Amino acid sequence: EPEVTQTPSHQVTQMGQEVILRCVPISNHLYFYWYRQILGQKVEFLVSFYNNEISEKSEIFDDQFSVERPDGSNFTLKIRSTKLEDSAMYFCASTQGFSTDTQYFGPGTRLTVL
């Protein structure tokens, strides 16, 4: 069964460093999302992406964040200058249709900012 994959599974970085989290969505999916989950808290929406542009972003998704689909398969989340409070599990998700279909989540990347 097709699945969303994410790399790396765990990333440790120093405050102020840039990180890039990578995702490979399911191949025939058209809508892509990033969410995050701070330890012990609920999953929060960050950004949605369709047709090579951002569809919607939350207030968490400030100028330090960016997303890109550099080729036909990868979908990346970049944090330009990490802060301690960026430490969280980051999930990528994809769906075939818009707002009516199942969102399939990847296994997540645990980001630890020291």
Partner 1 sequence: SQQGEEDPQALSIQEGENATMNCSYKTSINNLQWYRQNSGRGLVHLILIRSNEREKHSGRLRVTLDTSKKSSSLLITASRAADTASYFCATAYYNQGGKLIFGQGTELSVKP
Nearer to partner 1, 32 or 86 (CB): 32
Distance CA 48, CA 31 (A): 7
Calculate the CA 73 to chain-centre distance: 14
* 14 lies in the binding site for partner 1 (CB under 8 A): no
Of the candidate residues 31, 61, 75, 90, the single one contacting partner 1 (CB under 8 A): 31
User: Does the footprint of partner 1 cover residue 60 (CB under 8 A)?
Assistant: no
Mapped onto helix, strand or coil, the DSSP state of residue 66 is strand
CA angle in degrees (0–180, nearest 5) for 24-59-94: 20
Answer whether 26's CB lies under 8 Å from 104's CB: yes
- 65 vs 104, which CB is nearer to partner 1? 104
Please say which residue, 27 or 100, places its beta carbon nearer to partner 1: 100
Q: Which residues bind partner 1 (CB under 8 A)?
A: 31, 33, 35, 42-45, 48, 55-56, 58, 89, 91, 93, 95, 98-108, 110
